[in-house]
């Protein structure tokens, strides 16, 4: 266990103004953290900060035994070009580039990492298929496998259940819990799914109101039901 990442008096925003102010939280190794909040609360801004795409305007993000560029990131499926001319295997392989940079050929180690990610998500049979030919649930598995190929420590997921039917959503959540519990992956998941039954993490970061809530899922559910 131990700390993996922490925000200290973190303020994030843009020239037009601050979006998140004075945020503090600690993510321990093995956590599965659900980040919730309405549109405009700063969920996407927080992801950009964690990935180093924007710099803190105040405070800091501290990485413990974690290299920022080795974080696995899964964007919303709607932000991925479905017609990109690549096979499932090639898309998953691209997840390994964060560690090595672009190369004309993938190494045996990279191919092994991609193969393991495909097996972990049970989509090895799809490796030669085109992304555009897949169902929404299959596409999410491919994007999750790509993120998994990028890391052995931390996955950051941006509303992964968007546009999924209830069956595909259950499948996705089952895969995430398996990766977290069996492989020990730490996961930070932004979600719009506020059904308490689908808050699958052990911790919740709520950007809904200030002061921000950060604590156990059980405590969060109790507070929401009390309101």
Average pLDDT of the residues in 195-214: 86
Q: What share of the chain has pLDDT > 70, as a percent?
A: 91
Which residues in 64-169 belong to E strands, given as ranges? 72-74, 154-158
pLDDT tens per residue across span 154-187: 999 998 887 788 888 888 899 999 999 988 999 9
The residue among 194 and 171 whose pLDDT is bigger is 171
Q: Say what percent of the chain tops pLDDT 90.
A: 59
**What pLDDT was estimated at residue 85?**
77
- CA 205/CA 33 separation, integer angstroms: 7
pLDDT tier at 100 (50, 70, 90 boundaries)? Answer: low
Q: Show Cβ contacts of residue 171 under 8 Å, excluding neighbours closer than 6 positions.
A: 137, 141
Please write the tens of the pLDDT for every residue from 113-149: 999 999 999 999 999 999 889 988 898 899 999 999 9
pLDDT band at 152 (very low <50, low <70, confident <90, very high): confident
How confident is the model at residue 190, as a pLDDT?
A: 93
Q: How far apart are CA 172 and CA 166, in angstroms?
A: 10
Could you tell me which residue, 188 or 136, shows the higher pLDDT?
Answer: 188
**What is the chain's mean pLDDT, rounded?**
88
The residues pairing with 156 across neighbouring beta strands, listed in sequence order, are 73, 188
Q: Which of 221, 50, 41, 70 is nearest to 152 (CA)?
A: 70
Residue 195: pLDDT over 80: no
Predicted pLDDT at 103: 62
Domain boundaries, the chain: 1-71+153-227, 78-150
- The stretch 88-107 carries a mean pLDDT of 80
> What CATH code would you report for 1-71+153-227?
3.40.50.300
Model pTM?
0.89
Task: State the helix-helix crossing angle for 108-120 and 136-149, rounded to 10 degrees.
Answer: 140
Q: pLDDT tens-digit profile of 6-42?
A: 999 999 999 999 999 999 999 999 999 999 988 889 9
pLDDT at residue 101 greater than cutoff 70: no
Across the range 64-70, mean pLDDT stands at 87
Is pLDDT above 80 for 226? no
The model's pLDDT over 83-94, given as tens digits with 9 standing for 90+, comes to 777 899 999 999
Cβ(205)–Cβ(34) below 8 Å: yes
């Amino acid at each position: 266990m131990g700390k993996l990442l922490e925000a200290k008096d973190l303020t994030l925003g843009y020239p037009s103004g601050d979006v998140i102010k004075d945020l503090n939280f600690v993510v321990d190794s093995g956590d599965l953290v659900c980040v919730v909040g309405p549109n405009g609360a700063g969920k996407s801004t927080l992801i950009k900060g964690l990935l180093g795409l924007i710099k803190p305007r105040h405070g800091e993000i501290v990485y413990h035994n974690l290299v920022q560029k080795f974080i696995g990131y899964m964007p919303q499926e709607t932000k991925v070009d479905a017609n990109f001319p690549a096979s499932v295997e090639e898309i998953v392989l691209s997840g390994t580039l964060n560690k090595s940079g672009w190369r004309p050929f993938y190494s045996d180690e990279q191919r092994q990492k991609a193969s393991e990610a495909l097996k972990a998500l049970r989509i090895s049979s799809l490796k030669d298929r085109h992304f555009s030919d897949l169902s929404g649930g299959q596409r999410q598995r491919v994007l999750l496998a790509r993120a998994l190929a990028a890391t052995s420590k931390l996955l950051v997921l941006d509303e992964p259940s968007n546009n999924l039917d209830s069956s595909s959503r259950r499948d996705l959540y089952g895969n995430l819990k398996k990766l977290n519990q069996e492989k020990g992956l730490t996961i930070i998941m932004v979600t719009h799914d506020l059904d308490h039954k689908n808050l699958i993490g052990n911790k919740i970061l709520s950007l809904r109101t200030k002061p921000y809530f950060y604590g156990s899922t059980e405590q969060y559910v109790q507070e929401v039901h009390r309101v």
